[in-house]
Structure 1
Amino acid sequence: MTVKKISVNKKVCKKRVCAYIRVSTTNGSQLDSLENQKQYFENLYSNREDIEFIGVYYDRGISGSKDKRPRFQAMLEDCRAGKIDVIHTKSIARFARNTVTVLEISRELKAIGIDIFFEEQHIHTLSSEGEVMLSVLASIAEDELRSMSGNQRWAFQKKFQRGELVINTKRFLGYDVDENGSLIVNPEEALIVREIFSLYLEGNGTHRIAKQLNEQGVATVTGAKWHDTTIRHMLSNEKYKGSVLLQKYFHDGVNGPKKLNKGQLEQYLIEDNHEAIISKADWQAVQDKLSSRKWQQGRNKTYRFTGLLKCQHCGSTLKRQVSYKKKIVWCCSKYIKEGKVACQGMRVPEVDISNWTIASPVTVIERNKDGKKYYSYSGQESTDQCSSSGQEENQGSCLLSGIHRPRRTAIKL
């Protein structure tokens, strides 16, 4: 019996490898470095028969302490989809500078059999000693970041002390920056700024000014809609009188939340730094008016129906207003801010609902009958119960519906 040897062509299972690169700035030298690193990885894997090189994922100008890096997240999604077996990166610091992030991601990928290779530290996360080494080195990378952040803050502090500006003019109207970094007036935007200050000094509130600008189609600096908060920020911006207050805000911790500086750090005021759009007298008059309104709002923060009445059309809270005839009305807050395009609005005279006793938010329902407006609210015993300014004082409410009249008669008898 003759035995023939049969050769079997075994299919080689290639590992799918990708590379990740991160550069923290977008200047020329860093961009050159990025291209060199991409070329390095492409040359490294181009002739490997046992590896299928997926490509290079890279992020530019984003800190390694942040998880929300677009290409970094895209790479992780491809890993979860089973498209990648190995991530090759130069070092832990290039991958992430947050110990928690490094460990969480490495553990997640390890659970689905994906290896991360850190070339500089020569660590494979799938190896038995990988996580221990990774914990130590990631902590060192995080300490490095904290030290760098402290150095940057120190550098900014010294700039502030020297009176050097660190300003983003894309966040407020009225000014551009010249080649020397100085603020120069933008004539078109300055007209909008002057109009806002003028309207406020004439007696218009921030809600009304925002509504008027939206109706006129005037764009904000970011292209968004105008809001009362936007107007208030503009009115209190000292740059419009030619001054600059440095270090208004600060970041609490490494990549921490941005907070308003209320004395935690030193501030520096530079007077007559640039050309003013608003005179100092008008700017101060606006500040006095803002302070006065803020004080009044602090004294009268709550009223009987504050936060309890909702608009039947859009569900927004009704806000208390005093009309020009000194009558108190409750108006839809959304209508006040955004106008008819957002809600048709409603105006509820307080005298018509003065007999209501409510402890939790209700929706106000408005009905027209014989040319008069009647008001009720959701959850009342009868939808026919209502209040009207045309009723006699000895009537506590409107007539009950027919189904309740026999009970009322019985009580009278």
Structure 2
Amino acid sequence: MASKRVARLQSQTKQQAEEKQIVARKAVGYVRVSTDEQASTGYGMEAQEKAIRAFAESQGYELVDVIKDAGISGATKPEDRPGFLKVLQLAEKKAFSVLLVWKFDRLARNLAYAVTTVNALQDQYNITLRSVTEPIDTATPMGQTIFAVLAGMAAQERVTITQRTLAGKKEKAQRGGFAGGPAPLGYARDKDGGLQVVAEEAETVRRIYTLRKQGRKLQEIADTLNAEGVPTKRGGLWYPGTVRYILDNPKYQGYVEYYFRWDGENYVLTKGKQEAIIPKAG
């Protein structure tokens, strides 16, 4: 005879299995149409919803909800759409196990976005995607195999995109441009993605350099700024490390510095296009 502890575990397992079986028959429909599509085709919101409801009934699914994104381009990442965010919220609550779409391109026109979203739904929430008009069913082994192939293609596409993006950043840095990341204290991003001086913040930067030249320690400088209520770039408190970052950043002297570690190490230190806040020492 099993112990009480094992009996409790068995009871929990049985309850979890029953709950999983109930959720397994619950589905959410997702429909999306861009403004142009809605105006030029007959497959607008109502047509998609009708097809999804008919399919759910034929398969014996309990349709929890049909969520819509109207006037949203398929080039937009699913997680950036208000309607799809509701889908994710229901997924987190384990309210359903199958996501129904009219066609896979309703999820995303970009293959990488579509496959990445499908994998995330499966891995994080154990949710499968089914198209009511296309034969690929990610709930089946064959459907999973097909999507595995597509996932590999999408992964390679992401690698290629990343390589191009990083190559662009490296080239921009070598030409003295700001190659990304948040603008440091004293600067703001301009409309072209470069850096422009913010007068009030620049004064704080100059003061830090002045205090350091007077022999103040990093902690003393941080304490002084905090006592005077001077905010950091993010509005927080000053620490020795925050002060050190300001003093060690060559951008303030009109330079750009980057250390790239992909595709081999590459160190860049060159004259920048931004206006210097601190004159370069001798």
Instruction: Normalising by structure 1, report the TM-score.
Output: 0.47
d(CA) in 2 for partners of 1:198, 1:220: 17
d(CA) in 1 for partners of 2:237, 2:148: 47
Letter in 2 for 1:17: V
Residue pairs, 1:220-231, within 5 angstroms: 220-231=232-243
1:204 maps to which residue?
Answer: 216
Are 2:132 and 1:129 aligned?
no
Cα pair distance change 1:69/1:216, threshold 3 Å: farther
**Structure of larger gyration radius:** 1
CA deviations on 1:254-278 (whole Å, 9 max, x unpaired) are xxxxxxxxxx432333326333221
Cα pair distance change 1:62/1:157, threshold 3 Å: farther
2:112 maps to which residue?
Answer: 93
CA deviations on 1:342-394 (whole Å, 9 max, x unpaired) are xxxxxxxxxxxxxxxxxxxxxxxxxxxxxxxxxxxxxxxxxxxxxxxxxxxxx
Residue pairs, 1:237-316, within 5 angstroms: 237-245=249-257, 247-248=258-259, 264-271=264-271, 273-281=273-281
d(CA) in 1 for partners of 2:180, 2:36: 33
Q: Which of 200, 209, 232 lines up with 2:244 in the alignment?
A: 232
Highest relative contact order (Cα 8 Å, sep 6+), 1 or 2? Answer: 2
Q: What is the root-mean-square deviation of aligned Cα atoms in Å?
A: 4.1
How many equivalent pairs are there?
Answer: 237
Q: How far is the alpha carbon of 1:105 from its aligned partner?
A: 4.7
Q: How far is the alpha carbon of 1:203 from its aligned partner?
A: 1.7
Cα pair distance change 1:93/1:272, threshold 3 Å: closer
Are 2:48 and 1:45 aligned?
yes
Q: Which of 216, 220, 223 lines up with 2:228 in the alignment?
A: 216
2:123 maps to which residue?
Answer: 104
Cα pair distance change 1:117/1:105, threshold 3 Å: farther
Residue segments in structure 1 that go unaligned for 5+ positions in a row: 1-13, 22-32, 110-114, 254-263, 285-413
CA deviations on 1:16-66 (whole Å, 9 max, x unpaired) are 433287xxxxxxxxxxx86557996623334455465521378999979xx
Residue pairs, 1:381-392, within 5 angstroms: none
Cα pair distance change 1:69/1:231, threshold 3 Å: farther
Cα pair distance change 1:178/1:82, threshold 3 Å: closer
d(CA) in 1 for partners of 2:34, 2:265: 37
SS at match of 1:270: strand
Q: Which of 173, 180, 191 lines up with 2:185 in the alignment?
A: 173
Q: Which of 175, 199, 203 lines up with 1:187 in the alignment?
A: 199
CA deviations on 1:213-239 (whole Å, 9 max, x unpaired) are 122111111112222111111110101
Residue segments in structure 2 that go unaligned for 5+ positions in a row: 1-24, 57-62
d(CA) in 1 for partners of 2:77, 2:247: 34
Letter in 1 for 2:240: D
Q: How far is the alpha carbon of 1:123 from its aligned partner?
A: 1.5
Instruction: Normalising by structure 2, report the TM-score.
Output: 0.65
Q: Which of 21, 25, 29 lines up with 1:18 in the alignment?
A: 29
d(CA) in 2 for partners of 1:62, 1:214: 42
SS at match of 2:266: coil
